[in-house]
Amino acid sequence: MKHIRKLIECPACKGTGLYSDFAEGAGVAVICSQCNGSGSYEYSYSYKDFTGIKKINDIKRVYQKGTGYKIGLGKIILSGVGEIDMDKEGVSYKEFLAGKRPSFIEKLECPLRADQPSCHKIPGFVDTCNHLNGTWIADISKCKNRHNMKECWKRFHKGGE
């Protein structure tokens, strides 16, 4: 186990020792709560050198994400989703160890909830989501177009619309 300690510029106040944002009026600052006004911060962490991926003996399948659902092996039935054969989703643990990565379980979530960063990289994708929802999507899980996730995934794989 290796341990590193280094005195760095406080990331909260950028080395000033003071904090001034929307809650403080013009010309007013408060003592930075992260560095207590010193402008510095002791960055400390411990780590082990990576020597290769470690195996877990009792894992059978690997999935991208559960996106808030409890997932398991075999056929599962989810209210509002239906049946999903989890043995056909994801990849086997052996495939994962060989470098294969699972795709998203498209029946569980729309692309925006499953992989928001990628959706934002597709020109117009999120704008179309907002349009299909009828307004800006503040809570992705409450999208009014949720019943149409299959079409959203087609749009995602196609690279937007």
How many residues are listed for the chain in this entry? 161
Instruction: Classify residue 72 by its DSSP letter.
Output: -
76-115 confidence digits (pLDDT tens): 887 777 888 999 999 999 999 999 999 999 988 889 888 9
State how far the Cα of 61 lies from the Cα of 160, in Å rounded to an integer: 30
Q: Which residue, 135, 134, 128, 136, is CA-closest to 152?
A: 128
Bridging pattern class, strands 82-85 and 91-92: unpaired
How confident is the model at residue 23, as a pLDDT?
A: 82
CA dist 110 and 22 (Å) reads: 36
**CA gap 8, 6 in Å, rounded:** 6
Q: Coil, strand, or helix at residue 83?
A: strand
Distance of CA 68 to the CA centre of its chain: 11
Average pLDDT, the chain: 90
What would the pLDDT profile of 17-28 be if each residue is shown by its tens digit?
Answer: 999 887 888 899
The CA distance from 40 to 109, in Å, is 43
- Residues 6 or more apart whose CB falls under 8 angstroms from that of 145 comprise 110, 129, 132, 133, 152
20-42 mean pLDDT: 91
CB atoms within 10 A of CB 92: 15
